Amino acid sequence: MQFKDVIGQEEVKQHLRKLVRDNKLPHALLFSGPSGVGKLPLAVALAQYLACSHRESDSCGQCSNCLQWGRLQHPDLHFAYPVIKKGTEPPVADDYAAEWREMLHENPYFDIDDWYEKIGSDGKQGMIYEKESSEIMRKLSLKAFSGGKKVMIIWQPEKMNAVCANKLLKIIEEPPQDTLFILVSEQPEQLLPTILSRVQTVNIGRLSEDEIALALSERFPELASTTALDIAHLAGGSFTHALKNMQSNKLRNEMFDWWKLILRKAWMVGHKKDYGSLLVLKRWSTELNYDDESLRDENNKPIQHRSVIAVGREGQKAFLDYAIEQVRENYIRNYGMPELNYQTHDETAFSERFAPYIHNGNVEGLISELSTARRQIEQNGNPKMIFFDLCLKLIVLIK
C-alpha cells in the first residue's frame, strides 16, 4: 500500500515523509482518530515507504520490498489485532492472518464490526490476549530480514487486556534495534497512561466531504456525482461510514419515500379532510403493498409500492430511527442554520417546504410517538396496529 492509496490526509503524509527524511521518526507512534479516516492504511503505507529501496515522495511500488509489502507478506511486517476466542486456548493474531490479509486487500477502510463479521464472532467481543505479547516480543527479537526496520502495527490497542498491555510496556519503551511500533487507535483514552507516555501521537482528522465524494466516484464510476456528495455529507468525515451508507442507500431512499408519504397524507387528512389519503396510510401500515390514487402509471393505474410491513422488524426499527432523525433535521432547519443539517439534496428540498409544520408545539410529541412505536416494535408488538395508530397520532400532531 502506498501513500497515494490513502484518501486525503495530505498534511499527515507530509509530516511522516519529513520525519523519515530528517531521520527523526520515533520508535513508537500512535495514530489516533475516529473510525474510517485512514489510520490503518496510513500505517501500512508508512511501513512500505520505510522499506522501499527507491522511495521519493512515495514508495516506488516496484522494488522487491514493495512487492512483498503490497502482498502484506514481508517478513519484517507484523500485525496484532483483536481476535475471538473459540476454543479453550486464547488465540493470537497469526491464527487469523489469512482473514486479515484478505480484509486489508478487499478494503482497508473497515471498522471493528466489519472485522468481527469477517472472523465470525457470533456476537462475542474480541480482545488482544496476553499470549499476543509473547508473540510480539518473539517476532521483534529476530533480526530484520531486509536490513531495514521491523514494523509492528497494533490495530485497536485499546482492546489489549491489562496483562498484555503491561507486558509490552518495556519493549515499547526500549524496542530492539531497527524496530517501529505503530499503534492505531480510535479510543486512546482507554490505553494505559504508561503506554501513552511512550509513544508520539499523530492525530488523524476527519476527511472532507469533497475527499470522500471523489473517492466514492473513483471507486464506483456509475455513481451520480450528486449521490456521491449526498453520501459524503452524511458520512461525518468517515470513508467507512460512507461505504456503509452506500450499502444502505437504496433502503434510505425507500424510507424517504415513506416519510414523504405519511407526512403528506397526514397533512391532507388533517387540513383537507381527504379521507382517501387516510386509506393510503391504512394500506401502507397494514398491507405488504400499497397504492396511491394520486400516483399512476402510463395505463392510468395506481402505482404499487412495498410498504413498511414488508421489511420486517429490523427494517421497521430502521425506518422509525430515520423518521426521528428527520424530525430533528426539519426542526433545526427552521432556525436557518444549514450547516447543522445532514440531509441529501432530495431530503433538503422536501424539508424546506415541510419544516414549518414541525415546530415547538409538536416536535416533542412527534419524537415521543415515534420512539414509543419503535419500542413497541422491539417488544414484538403487532406492527400493523402500531403503525396505523402512529399514523393517526401524526395526523393530529401535524394538524
The three state secondary structure string of 50-72 is: HHCCCCCCCCCCCCHHHHHHHCC
**Rg of the chain, C-alpha, whole Å:** 26
Tell me the mean pLDDT in the region 90-115.
91
The phi, psi pair for 229, rounded to 5°, reads -70, -40
First to last CA, the chain: 58
Q: What is the pLDDT of residue 349?
A: 86
Q: What is the pLDDT of residue 249?
A: 64
* Cα 27 from Cα 16, distance rounded (Å): 13
Determine contact, residues 100/156, Cβ cutoff 8 Å.
no
* Cα 165 from Cα 133, distance rounded (Å): 8
- Residue 362: DSSP 8-state: T
pLDDT at 147 exceeding the cut of 70: no
Contacts of 280 (CB under 8 A, 6+ apart): 261, 265, 290, 291, 292, 293
The phi, psi pair for 222, rounded to 5°, reads -75, -10
Q: What is the pLDDT of residue 302?
A: 76
Q: What is the pLDDT of residue 29?
A: 94
pLDDT at 393 exceeding the cut of 70: yes
Fold of 3-205: Rossmann fold (3.40.50)
- Number of Cβ within 10 Å of residue 382's Cβ equals 12
* Cα 100 from Cα 81, distance rounded (Å): 9
* Cα 131 from Cα 161, distance rounded (Å): 10
Q: What is the pLDDT of residue 248?
A: 65
| Percentage of the residues of the chain whose pLDDT score is greater than 70 | 97
The C-alpha angle with vertex 348 and arms to 343 and 353, in degrees rounded to 5, equals 145
Comparing 295 with 141, which gets the higher pLDDT? 141
Question: 3-state DSSP call for residue 179?
Answer: strand
Q: What is the pLDDT of residue 279?
A: 92
Which of 253, 31, 298 lies closest to 158 in space, CA to CA?
31
Strand (E) positions, the chain? 28-32, 77-80, 150-155, 179-185, 200-203, 289-296, 302-306
Range(s) of the chain covered by CATH 1.20.272: 249-398
Report residue 297's pLDDT band, with 50, 70 and 90 as the boundaries.
Answer: low
Task: Cell numbers for 55, please give them.
Answer: 522511495
CATH among 1.25.60, 1.20.272, 1.10.10, 1.10.3210 for 249-398: 1.20.272
Place of cell 515507504: 49
Evaluated on CA atoms 209, 6, 105, 112, the torsion sign reads negative
Range(s) of the chain covered by CATH 3.40.50.300: 3-205
Tell me the mean pLDDT in the region 12-32.
92
Average pLDDT, the chain: 88
Q: Which of 51-55, 96-100, 134-138, 189-193 has the lowest mean pLDDT?
A: 51-55
Tell me the mean pLDDT in the region 130-155.
87
289-296 and 302-306 strand pairing: antiparallel
Evaluated on CA atoms 79, 83, 86, 89, the torsion sign reads positive
pTM of the shown model: 0.67
* Cα 47 from Cα 52, distance rounded (Å): 9
* Cα 396 from Cα 260, distance rounded (Å): 17
Q: What is the pLDDT of residue 397?
A: 93
The phi, psi pair for 90, rounded to 5°, reads -60, 135
Tell me the mean pLDDT in the region 84-107.
89
Place of cell 501513552: 196
* Cα 270 from Cα 241, distance rounded (Å): 38
- Residue 356: DSSP 8-state: G
* Cα 296 from Cα 255, distance rounded (Å): 20
